[in-house]
């Protein structure tokens, strides 16, 4: 069934819930939307935090949490979204249309196409691809990519970036089996290769 | 105004967080579980703002 066109701007999801838990819901959402998602995790959910980020959540807040902290995280995530989508900031590095070979990215519209075919990316995937494609041929370390994709308060491990890149490639390959513009440099990071 | 979906089976959290977010100027939709949220997102009509508890 298609999603309603007027989806919320973002979702805050508990992980452990009856009927359908937060992980399942995230998975279902990610099949169709790039809606920003914050997970609420319990003390015993530490594995879930990492897994959640790997599955495409944008951030997580540990229970018990202060309401102020949650509001801050929500605002930070919406700001990141706005930085991609805003038309008020003019043509900065963040809002400039990128055309690299077959890749076309329009941050103001949060749209990505490869060989003229649209690809739907989450905020995090979009920011990673944008960062790599801005400087083709230059290597970005996982640390640099983490800084691009997450706020300072969010701790993610290297493998989280790897998972995002893996998912990003998979999405690009849905429109082109031969997509290979994102190169892995083992132990170093990633590089965008312009064909 | 940004619209936020809050999904949690803990009623206390739904109530307290939605009150805080509303006071901060957000529009909040609350759901008790993932399935209810997904059902609402998939509805064809747009009038699902008060779903949940």
Q: Compute the nearest-CA separation of A18 from chain B (Å).
A: 6
Backbone angles phi, psi at A61, to 5 degrees: -130, 130
CB atoms under 10 Å from CB of B26, counted, come to 21
Residues in chain A with CB shorter than 8 Å from the CB of B13 are: 14, 40
Q: Which residues lie closer than 8 Å to A92 by C-beta, 6 or more apart?
A: none
Q: Compute the nearest-CA separation of B16 from chain A (Å).
A: 8
Residue A137 has, within 13 A of its CA and on its CB side, a CA count of: 4
Quote the domain boundaries for residue A96. 11-192
Is residue A4 included in any domain, yes or no? no
Is residue A69 included in any domain, yes or no? yes
Q: Measured between CB atoms, does B51 come within 8 Å of chain A? A: no
Per the structure, the count of domains in chain A is 1
Is residue A79 included in any domain, yes or no? yes
Say whether pLDDT at A147 is over 70: yes
Q: Do A20 and B41 touch (CB under 8 A)?
A: no
Is residue A38 included in any domain, yes or no? yes
Q: What is the ipTM of this complex?
A: 0.83
Is residue A33 included in any domain, yes or no? yes
Say whether pLDDT at A4 is over 80: no
* CATH number of the domain to which A134 belongs: 1.10.10.10
Is residue A3 included in any domain, yes or no? no
Average pLDDT, chain A: 85
A97 pLDDT band (50/70/90 cuts)?
A: confident
Q: Which residues lie closer than 8 Å to A80 by C-beta, 6 or more apart?
A: A36, A58, A123, A127, A151
Determine the Cα–Cα distance for residues A155 and A186; give it in Å rounded to an integer: 22
Between residues A65 and A86, the one the model is more confident about: A65
Give the pLDDT confidence of B6-50 residue by residue, as tens digits.
999 999 999 999 999 999 999 999 999 999 999 999 874 444 444
**pTM for this model (two decimals):** 0.63
Q: What percent of chain A has pLDDT over 70?
A: 86
User: For position A130, what pLDDT does the model report?
Assistant: 93
Q: Quick one: average pLDDT of A170-181?
A: 95
Cis preceding linkage at A64, omega within 30: yes
Query: For A3, which of B7, B24, B41 is closest by C-beta distance?
Result: B41
Q: Measured between CB atoms, does A7 come within 8 Å of chain B? A: yes
Q: Compute the nearest-CA separation of B1 from chain A (Å).
A: 9
Q: Measured between CB atoms, does B6 come within 8 Å of chain A? A: yes
Give the pLDDT confidence of A80-91 residue by residue, as tens digits.
877 766 544 456
Between residues A50 and A134, the one the model is more confident about: A134
CB-CB contact of A101 with A194 (8 Å): yes
In degrees, rounded to 5, the angle at the alpha carbon of residue A62 between the alpha carbons of residues A165 and A32 is 40
Both structure tokens of A49:
């935090």
Beta pairing partners, A16? none
């Amino acid at each position: 069934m298609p999603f309603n066109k007027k989806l919320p701007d973002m979702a805050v999801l508990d992980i452990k819930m009856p009927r359908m838990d937060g992980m399942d819901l995230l998975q279902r959402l990610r099949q169709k939307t790039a809606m920003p998602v914050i997970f609420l995790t319990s003390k015993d959910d530490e594995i879930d935090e990492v897994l959640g980020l790997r599955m495409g959540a944008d951030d997580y807040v540990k229970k018990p949490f202060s309401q102020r902290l949650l509001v801050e995280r929500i605002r930070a995530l919406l700001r990141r979204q706005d930085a991609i989508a805003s038309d008020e900031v003019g043509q900065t590095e963040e809002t400039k249309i990128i055309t690299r070979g077959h890749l076309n990215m329009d941050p103001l519209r949060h749209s990505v196409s490869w060989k003229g075919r649209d690809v739907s990316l989450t905020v995090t995937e979009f920011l990673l691809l944008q960062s790599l494609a801005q400087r083709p041929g230059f290597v970005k370390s996982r640390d640099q990519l983490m800084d691009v994709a997450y706020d300072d308060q969010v701790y993610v491990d290297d493998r989280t970036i790897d998972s995002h890149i893996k998912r990003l490639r998979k999405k690009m390959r849905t429109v082109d089996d031969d997509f290979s513009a994102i190169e892995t440099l083992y132990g170093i990071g990633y590089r965008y290769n312009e064909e | 105004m940004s619209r936020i979906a809050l999904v949690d089976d803990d009623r206390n959290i739904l109530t307290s967080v939605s009150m805080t977010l509303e006071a901060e100027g957000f529009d909040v939709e609350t759901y008790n579980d993932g399935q209810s949220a997904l059902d609402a997102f998939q509805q064809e009509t747009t009038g699902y703002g008060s779903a949940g508890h």
